[in-house]
Amino acid sequence: MAMMTRMTGVCVCLLFMHGYAWAQTVAPPAERSDPDIPVDALQPDFNLAALPTTLRMPVGKWAFRVTHRFTRRLGQGDFGDLVSDAFGFDSSAQIGLELRYGLLRGTQIGVHRTSDRTTQLFAHHNFLNERDGRPLGLDVIGTFEGDNNLRDEHRGAFGLVASKNLARRAAVYVEPLWVTNTNPFGNGDDYTVLLGLGARVRVRPATYLVAEVSPRLTGYDPDVNQMSFGLEGRAGGHLFQLNVSNGFGTTLGQLARGGLSYDDWYIGFNIARKFF
């Protein structure tokens, strides 16, 4: 009986090992079977400069981003002054830190906080994606933000993010967005409807040009529309972007309040890291 028990145990072990080896060769690991894991060549990041994209976050994965906008005007003084200030890198900056998480297939959530103590909570859900053979990408996005670490001046945003890939060379974006409580003075309109427009062009296998503008269509629209232009490079899960903007906004509420001037431009950068 003892010998039979040992033989049965050996047989079970051999069957288990054979089944495990078969499963390893037939079924790909879960990491590789998730279609959102591989790099999207035309959408390498979840944002352009500030505007969101339709890139899906894999379920259970994380991504981190740093935004940095230096406050020295590039046109301040002469070229020698600009060189002396390291092209603005010696100046103070508005910095943003962002963390996002893949909650469900097509659904991602996150938080973005800037150094002026503005905090934005956000959620995206992807309805259409060109990786699935659809003609375009389409997300719905909602945000909630406030000043002084969400204590004051609460603002909400809701809208759509639509994307279209062009000839395996570029991705373009149209983003109608409605933002509430944008008027800090309490007189006149207290909402803003803006239309985010952007593009990312792939000029080399891992090098891109980025441009975006956020015109306000109606509601509260002080100053000018924020615009940004950038050059970025991808290396694995890292993306580094050097940009120039006419404002410091990196949340939807900040974009709704506009840029500073069409005559004054500021250098900045984004650093993004995917943990997958």
pLDDT at 170 over 70: yes
Average pLDDT over residues 153-171: 97
Asked if the model's pLDDT at residue 21 lies above 70, the reply is no
Report whether pLDDT(248) > 50: yes
How many helices (DSSP H) and strands (DSSP E) are in the chain? 5, 13
pLDDT over 90 (residue 159): yes
Q: For residue 32, name the pLDDT band (cuts at 50, 70, 90).
A: low
Domain ranges within the chain, ordered by starting residue: 45-274
pLDDT, tens digit (0-9, with 9 covering 90-100), for 2-14: 433 344 343 434 3
Kindly provide the b/e burial profile for residues 8-40, where b requires at least 16 CB atoms within 10 angstroms of the residue's own CB: eeeeeeeeeeeeeeeeeeeeeeeeeebebeeeb
Written out in words, the top-level CATH class of the domain with range 45-274 is: mainly beta
Q: What pLDDT, in 10s, does the model give residues 41-54?
A: 999 999 999 999 99
Which has more confidence, 85 or 250?
250
Q: Which helix (H) or strand (E) holds 255?
A: helix 252-256
**If you count them, how many residues does the chain have?**
276
Q: Give the residue-averaged pLDDT of 79-93.
A: 88
Residue 42, CA distances (Å) to 114, 124, 200, 264, 275 in order: 27, 19, 7, 30, 19
Q: What is the mean pLDDT of the chain?
A: 89
